[in-house]
Structure 1
Amino acid sequence: MTRLMVLGLLRMKPMSGYEMQQLLQTSATDRWAGILPGSIYHALKKMDGEGLVRVASVETTGHRSKAIYEITEAGREEYGRLLVESFRTPSVHLPVGLYTGLSLLYMSPEAEGIEEALQEQLQALIQQREALEAGFRMKAEHMPPNRMMELTVQNMLQQYDLQIDFLQQILLEPGTDT
């Protein structure tokens, strides 16, 4: 997804890796897209070698210089291919670690710390949901949301709500406090 995101950002305008990183962090896109700062620079370097992007200019400030990248025609074609592929790939990812633990819980009545671990996961999900919602509000201040963005935000928040509700139900069940 990093390649698709980088190419998509460069379709908007030429920019540096740092500018991309800041844009993704400000809008909290890096949280849900799973894009690490280093992966942006790695993708730019690799795609530059593949002819998908190129250095449009180099800006120097003091002793620092930064490359401003732009997308090439081959990059636009790759963007289109990756975009279509992103819609083809199944998008539901089940919490298999949690499901595995739950399926084995009855065999481990002596296990300690399960309730605490579930509470930690619950709190982490609540915090992630709040951060995601705040990021989208911030993004909406800078860019008016379109219908696809609204649907995406709604779906992401519903995913969090579903998992939060599931964990709360598990915590109400006898035997999770072993």
Structure 2
Amino acid sequence: MSSTRVLILGCLLDQPRNGYQVRRQLEVMGAEQWANVAFGSIYHGLGKMAEEGLLEVVESGKGGKTLYEITEAGRLEFRRLLLQNWYDVKPIVDPFQVALTFMDRLTKQEILDSLHGRIRQLKMSIEALESAFGVKQRYGAPRHVDENLRLTTDMLAAQLAWAEKAVIRVEADELP
């Protein structure tokens, strides 16, 4: 939850918001593409952080919406987590790597078909992300949010390069 926690706290730095407003701000930034945020967890996170004293409820019940404001403790926690995330290098968990572990259980043709399918999907994903550069700013996202798209694009490009080389190795019976 630490990524979601940083995102929620960050959305509340400048003004109080309700859960829907936090979600909208994250959508404008494109967080669903690079942060793996389950939007349902926003509401749970808001309540939990209010219990922890990181947020305070400034308005409750108006139209069924609760308005949250970040506390000084929340600002300190945001800054701590933000800096920690700049320094922490953690593995990216990808189900593909689990599947790759057992590639020897597939036929050569299944591996090749799967790799070609993955290559097509990677190319489409890269193209979609590249077409989104600069678009989020029209909806109020800061310009630097595009760096998340660039980083994601570069990671997908690395996977694409690996997959294209893997096809050659499978065809040459070097894999698995």
TM-score by structure 2 length? 0.78
For the 8 Å contact 1:28–1:136, the answer to whether it is kept is no
Identity of aligned residues (%): 28
Q: Which structure 1 residue ranges, 5 or more long, are not aligned? A: none
The 4+ residue runs of structure 1 with deviation greater than 6 A are: none
Q: How far is the alpha carbon of 1:124 from its aligned partner?
A: 3.0
Change (3 A) 1:82 1:37: same
After TM superposition, the structure 1 stretch with the greater mean CA deviation from structure 2, 2-11 or 28-37, is: 28-37
Q: What SS class does the counterpart of residue 36 from structure 1 fall into?
A: coil
Structure 2 match to 1:75: 74
| Mapping for residues 89-128 of structure 1, pairs under 5 Å | 89-91=88-90, 93=92, 96-97=97-98, 99-101=100-102, 105=104, 110=107, 112-128=109-125
TM-score by structure 1 length? 0.78
Structure 2 match to 1:24: 26
In the alignment, the residues of structure 2 paired with residue 34 and residue 157 of structure 1 have an alpha-carbon distance, to the nearest angstrom, of 15
Letter in 2 for 1:100: T
After TM superposition, the structure 1 stretch with the greater mean CA deviation from structure 2, 21-30 or 6-15, is: 21-30
In the alignment, the residues of structure 1 paired with residue 106 and residue 12 of structure 2 have an alpha-carbon distance, to the nearest angstrom, of 54
Structure 1 match to 2:83: 84
Structure 2 match to 1:54: 56
For the 8 Å contact 2:133–2:146, the answer to whether it is kept is no
Change (3 A) 1:143 1:165: same
For the 8 Å contact 1:27–1:136, the answer to whether it is kept is no
Deviations 1:10-31 (A, max 9, x none): 0032111112212222332122
Aligned length: 169
Q: Which structure 2 residue ranges, 5 or more long, are not aligned? A: none
Q: How far is the alpha carbon of 1:166 from its aligned partner?
A: 1.4
